[in-house]
């Protein structure tokens, strides 16, 4: 029966929608008046330059966007799918021709400033595949809940980063023997708009700064870094929480003490030095700065909720990463962790690159299953099946990733 009360879209509107989509809308004449097409809903690309519509926006002030697990299946995460974690407001105008980086602080012999052009020409240009993961990735699972962006699994990505080694630049500047830490400053502004406050100013111990893979980078996957990921210049430290990898990098201070910039204190990027009971109040002096990120893995194919037939084998793929040398074992379970099957695992391209796993699995009978994934690294660290230790801000959740599968 025809519903005559429904009002349909005008022919002229339909034509313009089709033109925008670049294709014919097959049953377009049935579109009710006022219905917003899904293709135009939540148009992330308009609001957040360089980012795909398929990402999940957790917050728009500051901008925090995560990547659904099934969109992380690429070996290197494309720029438009890479997550965004901002603490403040990105710079609105960027004069790339006059961009400079100042290296200063108590522990440099003399401050020195480099233009972007000088950095590119003066030092060896290098590329590494480096995984960046926000310390708060997986926060959503903690109980009692932790305040902050409720990241599920998508505050992680691995890209090819190109730039110069931080250690080459520090050597050129000349450090004093008392240097223990570096702290970064970026050109983004504090949410309050106050010019005297940094949105974030974190850093790493000097030994981490001097690692071979620690970069000052200007390119991501052979393109300019997207504005929201720190264009035109950023730090990249694999293996440490991504909060150390300063974006819109304008200044580095070489410190003779642990850097004391914005978000280095209190419960920011710090966890209890010793395990505590869920919900416990932890004294300030009992909190330690997060350094190495824990071993972890992610199933990126199939998407959770997939249905397959009993006579089919299911190909499961994903990535695993660690702050240690490499992942040496990758396993899947379909029986809630009672038994585990080894997966094929690729070598790592370089330290801090994620490694890819793929395997085919079969199911014994029809019904509901969960596929769980567990990585083990070269130091013997492995992932907890359920939640790891609770901490006030919900950092470092490296529990096994799970997807739901229905076999029919």
Q: Residue numbers of the site for ligand MTE (CB under 6 A)? A: 82-88, 132, 134, 186, 188, 199-200, 229-230, 242-243, 245-248
The angle formed by the CA atoms of residues 257, 137 and 154, to the nearest 5 degrees, is 135
Q: Is 243 in the site for Mo ion (CB under 5 A)?
A: yes
Helix (H) or strand (E) holding 47: helix 44-47
- Of 81 and 169, the one with the shorter C-beta distance to ligand MTE is 81
- Of 245 and 297, the one with the shorter C-beta distance to ligand MTE is 245
Least Cβ distance, residue 265 to ligand MTE (angstroms): 15
Residue nearest to ligand MTE (CB): 186
91's contact among ligand MTE, Mo ion, none, with CB below 5 to 8 A by partner kind, is none
Distances from the Cα of 112 to the Cα of 123, 183, 253, 285, 340, angstroms: 15, 15, 11, 35, 54
C-alpha 390/C-alpha 84 separation (Å) is 24
Q: Is 175 in the site for Mo ion (CB under 5 A)?
A: no
Q: Which position has the token pair 């966890």?
A: 271
Residue 378 half-sphere exposure toward CB, CA atoms < 13 A = 12
Residues 77-106 that bind Mo ion (CB under 5 A): 85
Q: What's the maximum distance between 2 C-alpha atoms anywhere in the chain?
A: 85
Q: Is 134 in the site for Mo ion (CB under 5 A)?
A: yes
Q: Is 234 in the site for Mo ion (CB under 5 A)?
A: no
Least Cβ distance, residue 66 to ligand MTE (angstroms): 9
Least Cβ distance, residue 264 to ligand MTE (angstroms): 12
- Of 200 and 295, the one with the shorter C-beta distance to Mo ion is 200
Q: Which stretch binds Mo ion (CB under 5 A): 179-187, 238-246, 273-281, 368-376?
A: 238-246
- Of 298 and 371, the one with the shorter C-beta distance to Mo ion is 298
What are the tokens at 131? 């995984």
DSSP 23-58: S--TTGGGPBTTPPPGGGTT-HHHHSTT--TTSEEE
Name the residue among 44, 84, 45 with its Cα closest to residue 65: 84
- Of 72 and 132, the one with the shorter C-beta distance to ligand MTE is 132
Secondary structure of residue 237 in the 3-state scheme: coil
307 beta partners: 406
Q: Which stretch binds Mo ion (CB under 5 A): 239-247, 259-267, 367-375, 384-392?
A: 239-247
Least Cβ distance, residue 157 to Mo ion (angstroms): 12
C-alpha 351/C-alpha 321 separation (Å) is 9
Residue nearest to Mo ion (CB): 134
Residue 232, preceding peptide bond in cis (omega within 30° of 0): yes
- Of 233 and 316, the one with the shorter C-beta distance to ligand MTE is 233
Name the residue among 208, 201, 216 with its Cα closest to residue 181: 208
Eight-state DSSP code of residue 390: -
Least Cβ distance, residue 225 to ligand MTE (angstroms): 8
Q: Which stretch binds Mo ion (CB under 5 A): 127-135, 200-208, 254-262, 275-283?
A: 127-135
Burial call 308-333: b when 16+ CB within 10 Å, e when fewer: beeeeebebebbbbbbbebbbbbbbb
- Of 79 and 376, the one with the shorter C-beta distance to ligand MTE is 79
Burial degree of 368 (CB within 10 A; 0-12, 13-18, 19+): exposed
200's contact among ligand MTE, Mo ion, none, with CB below 5 to 8 A by partner kind, is ligand MTE
Least Cβ distance, residue 22 to ligand MTE (angstroms): 30
- Of 164 and 236, the one with the shorter C-beta distance to ligand MTE is 236
88's contact among Mo ion, ligand MTE, none, with CB below 5 to 8 A by partner kind, is ligand MTE
- Of 229 and 383, the one with the shorter C-beta distance to ligand MTE is 229
Q: Tell me the Ramachandran region of residue 138: left when phi exceeds 0, alpha when psi lies from -120 to 50, beta otherwise.
A: left
Q: Is 200 in the site for Mo ion (CB under 5 A)?
A: no
- Cα 279 to chain centroid distance, Å, stands at 26
Residues of this chain that bind Mo ion (CB under 5 A): 85, 134, 243
């Amino acid at each position: 029966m025809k519903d005559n009360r429904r009002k349909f879209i005008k022919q002229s509107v339909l034509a313009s929608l089709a033109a925008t989509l670049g294709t014919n809308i097959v049953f377009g004449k049935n579109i009710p008046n006022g219905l917003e097409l899904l293709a135009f809903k939540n148009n992330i690309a308009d609001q957040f330059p360089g980012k795909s519509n398929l990402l999940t926006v957790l917050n728009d002030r500051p901008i925090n966007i995560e990547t659904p697990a099934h969109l992380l299946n690429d070996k290197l995460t494309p720029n438009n799918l890479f997550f965004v974690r901002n603490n403040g407001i990105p710079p609105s105008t960027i004069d790339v021709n006059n961009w400079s980086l100042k290296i200063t602080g108590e522990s440099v012999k003399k401050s020195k400033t480099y233009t972007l052009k000088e950095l590119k020409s003066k030092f060896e240009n290098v590329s590494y595949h480096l995984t960046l993961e926000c310390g708060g990735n997986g926060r959503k699972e903690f109980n009692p809940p932790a305040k902050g962006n409720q990241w599920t699994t998508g505050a992680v990505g691995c890209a090819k980063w190109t730039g110069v080694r931080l250690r080459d630049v520090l050597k050129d500047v000349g450090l004093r023997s008392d240097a223990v830490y570096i702290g970064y400053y970026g050109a983004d502004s504090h949410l309050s708009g106050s010019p005297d406050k940094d949105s974030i100013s974190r850093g790493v111990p000097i030994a981490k700064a001097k690692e071979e893979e620690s970069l000052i980078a200007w390119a991501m996957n052979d393109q300019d870094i997207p504005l929201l990921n720190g264009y035109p210049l950023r730090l990249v430290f694999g293996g440490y929480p991504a909060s150390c990898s300063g974006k819109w990098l304008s200044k580095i201070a070489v410190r003779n003490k642990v850097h004391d910039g914005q978000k280095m204190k209190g419960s920011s990027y710090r966890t209890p030095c010793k395990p505590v009971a869920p919900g416990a109040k932890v004294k300030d002096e009992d909190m330690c700065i997060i350094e190495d990120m824990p071993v972890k893995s992610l199933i990126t194919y199939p998407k959770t909720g997939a249905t397959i037939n009993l006579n089919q084998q299911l190909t499961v793929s994903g990535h695993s990463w660690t702050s240690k040398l490499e992942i040496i074992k990758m396993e899947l379970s379909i029986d809630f962790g009672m038994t585990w099957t080894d997966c094929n695992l690729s070598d790592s391209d370089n330290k801090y690159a994620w490694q890819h796993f793929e395997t085919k699995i079969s199911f014994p009978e029809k019904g509901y299953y969960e596929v769980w994934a567990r990585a083990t690294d070269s130091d013997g660290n492995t992932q907890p099946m359920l939640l790891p230790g609770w901490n006030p801000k919900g950092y470092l959740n490296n529990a096994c990733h799970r997807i739901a599968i229905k076999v029919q």
